[in-house]
Structure 1
């Protein structure tokens, strides 16, 4: 039992403090780790970052249905989903570069540049009319800027917390949930009244205001440590079995994660659910993910982050395979099925954004390299976020509009996520069950 604890989070996190000595990287503050005004102000600034970055991506399901009936109605579901899947993919894939920039130079220029690109991309989307314009503006420019502020917020939070790291990440990640509530409601209300262009512009101004706050509040506790580029920074994590298994797990999880987000609104509309209610399904899903972001982080610090993450992912798999799939097959016109599925899946999948950085921090021996390690992990995830929704769209087209195939695909990927997480836990503490890890 005690041996298991030594291999758990306390051991890995104590290494953070041992390697990141004050002489090397610590920036003296009055508040230190795990509390104080400085630490929690960074949490609020990072919360604004995720509200604007991941919160906007969580609203992508609104555009799938809108584009199919408006600007891009001549394109297939799979073709349109490439635009929307580019958003999380670009958000994650740039981590290889952004993480290194953060480790070497800190968050300031990432935040400034990211704010400009994210807002500029949305403004250009508002005047787009051709497929390639949506790809460039909404699929590349906007999420590129979002990635800069996303990584800056997460990486800075990791430097201020150790014992309460999962809770801090959960609070930060709740910004993406609230953004995922606000933006779908905003778009649902604005699109029929002010039109597509001004709906995007108003959203852009909201994001600009919040990112100005983030620029003022987000800073790292650790001084940047400029290092020359070495390929080992990117390859060393793959020599760690726990990292590889964690990477495989979250990659499978992200294959599944965005499929309900992108397709549950479309499915509800095609099955005759009231259009007004269907437009709120994403808001309901993200409302469920709000406690799903915070509570797993709180209990993860107390019961073990891997333990809680395994439980939440298993619950996600059950929602997909036991509720969404049979529910819409048996009662495709039941609004209750879509509402309950959205709410429960939002809660179950909410742990992904908040817990993954906490798990990575737990198994990372050197906190001064957290930016690069996050970049490596999220770049691997980007493959899943790029291809997951188009694969689901191709399955939908192959089955001539039947949704059960993409539902099975999402459920199987989530089951694989759970299995790889269990294997990662075994590399840390073996098969011991009652161990906090």
Structure 2
């Protein structure tokens, strides 16, 4: 608070900055010309902070608050919108929201992590006459829809919250599994599994990550990692379940039971989900926010997501077929997928925990590099060695498990929590083209060469190279933010 001006000296900016009740010292000589610029800044800063407090009481996020809270370092630009917010970082309500996200992610990533099971079954039953690339489009279209349609879901989430998005998305993913057993032709499977299930997954995906950003900031990596273990648990339970039940009940009833499981989880998710922050004032649009790509850190992050999608879904989809093609019993081959997802359980949890301490971009760069090492050192020479295949499944599962849990946190580091949906959905739009093209490319590579081994070699090299480029992109974003300082937490 400043003293009311009573004379010419009191009206001076210097005197107005002296707190009430604190007399100025006449013995101290002040060079008004040298001090005036800094005091002007201080006065403006105080005015902005007072405006921020008034706006916060009305739950309105103004540009004045952003300017007052903006850090001086460009590497911290992603936190501009969060500096005036108090995040719970825990508590009953926050962890119930994490539980809601967990249930949503089972319906999305639990099914995604069963891709190899469905690919193997379709290729030997309903779609036995189709080549690998054509069958791969089913799963690529599913993944494309999940990620691409987030560009419309993100702004809706920022403006209206998660409630209706989660409700409608839950109905669609449940309906997809209940109807899948009735499908016998290619277009029926494409419409039911890819389109219906993909739209449901798109409506669930953004809210599942976004609500965590409303309650956590410092511990966001840890909380997101806990929720992301849902994909690993679903990827362990569903393949083992399908391996045991399909021979007894048939494919139709096996998928219907999965649908009923997802129905129960969806009910829990809808009861627990909620948002905490006031709506974003950014205009809603069905088009990507191209202005976000002016930030090279965000652009590099999006490119990393694209190539990471190329890398991760190739092993997830073809590991079962690879094992069967190299003399493994088909039932045992399903176990490899369960082991891969069991490894990813720790990979989703532990890197997220470490990322909050060592830096999100630091950790995702290292885990992507570890994926390259496991693919080239274990999968490439595996052949018919069951021991190498098991080692690859577990270690690649651990290394790749962090992928789907860390990149949403990396995006959140580049923006404020109120605008998370807009940033995340734009990044997902870019990544969706990676998912759309990854499996058809992998399937086409599998068909090249005069022998099957040449096709598998091309597919494995494709996965390793994709991860190498992804790791370089995330490293590029980190270097732009904090230069080459190795010990910098970012």
Distance 1:140 1:164 in 2: 35
Which residue does the alignment assign to 1:29?
none
Which of residues 390, 393, 399 in structure 2 aligns to 1:342?
393
Aligned to 2:308: 253
On the 8 A contact 1:7/1:428 being kept in 2, the answer is no
Matches within 5 A, 1:316-395: 316-325=371-380, 327-328=381-382, 332-364=383-415, 366-395=416-445
CA distance in 1, matches of 2:198, 2:241: 19
What is the Cα deviation at residue 33 of structure 1? 2.0
Under a length normalisation based on structure 1, what TM-score does the superposition of the two structures give? 0.92
Partners of 1:274 and 1:75 in 2: CA distance: 22
Secondary structure in structure 2 of the residue aligned to 1:215: helix
How has the CA–CA distance of structure 1 residues 277 and 33 changed in structure 2, closer, same or farther, with 3 Å as cutoff? same
Computing the radius of gyration from Cα coordinates, the structure with the larger value is 2
Identify which of 408, 416, 430 aligns with 2:461.
408
Describe the superposition over 1:190-237 as per-residue Cα deviations: whole angstroms up to 9, x where unpaired: 111100100110000001100110001111111333653358961121
Change (3 A) 1:178 1:7: farther
In structure 2, the residue matched to 1:38 is 93
Cα distance in 1, alignment partners of residues 411 and 351 from structure 2: 15
C-alpha contact (below 8 Å) 2:297/2:481 kept by paired residues: yes
Preserved contact between residue 151 and residue 287 of structure 2 (Cα < 8 Å): no
For residues 59-98 of structure 1, the aligned pairs below 5 Å read 59-98=114-153
1:83 Cα shift? 0.6
Quick check: 1:121 aligned with 2:204?
no
Asked whether 1:169 is paired with 2:224, we answer yes
Which of these residues, 165, 189, 194, is aligned with residue 244 of structure 2?
A: 189
Residue 427 of structure 1 is matched in structure 2 by 480
Cα distance, 1:338 vs structure 2:
1.3
Cα deviation for residue 6 of structure 1 reads: 7.7
1:52 aligns to 2:107 (yes or no): yes
**Greater helix fraction, Structure 1 or Structure 2:** 1
Distance 2:114 2:205 in 1: 16
Cα distance in 2, alignment partners of residues 227 and 308 from structure 1: 31
Contact between 1:8 and 1:436, CA under 8 Å: does it hold in 2?
Answer: no
Kindly report which structure 2 residues correspond to 1:211-290, keeping only aligned pairs within 5 A, or say none. Answer: 211-225=266-280, 227-230=282-285, 234-290=289-345
Unaligned runs of 5+ in 2: 1-70
Q: Which has the higher contact order (CA 8 A, sep 6+)?
A: 1
- Between the aligned partners of 1:301 and 1:225, the Cα distance in structure 2 is 26
Q: CA RMSD in A?
A: 1.8
Q: Distance in 2 between matches of 1:410 and 1:6?
A: 40
1:396 matched residue in structure 2: 446
* In 1, Cα distance between equivalents of 2:332 and 2:285: 52
**In terms of mean alpha carbon deviation, does 231-240 or 241-250 score higher?**
231-240
Q: SS of the residue aligned with 1:280?
A: helix
Q: Is the 8 A contact 1:104 1:226 kept in 2?
A: yes
Q: Residues of 2 paired with 1:334 and 1:225: CA distance?
A: 54
Question: How many residues in Structure 1 have an aligned counterpart in Structure 2?
Answer: 417
* 8 A Cα contact 2:152 2:287, kept in partner: no
- 1:376 positional shift: 0.6
Question: Quick check: 1:199 aligned with 2:250?
Answer: no
| TM-score using structure 2 length | 0.82
Give per-residue Cα distances to partners, 1:78-108, cap 9 Å, x unaligned: 1111112222221111110010110111101
Contact 1:396 1:405 in 2 (8 A): yes
Preserved contact between residue 176 and residue 197 of structure 2 (Cα < 8 Å): yes
Offset at residue 13 of structure 1 (A): 5.9
Q: Write the distance in 2 (CA, Å) between the matches of 1:224 and 1:370.
A: 11
CA shift in 2, pair 1:388/1:14, >3 Å: closer
Aligned residue for 1:273, secondary structure, equals: coil
* Secondary structure in structure 1 of the residue aligned to 2:289: helix
- Pair 127,17 (structure 1): closer, same or farther in 2 beyond 3 Å: same
**Ranges in structure 1 where 5+ consecutive residues have no aligned partner:** 27-31
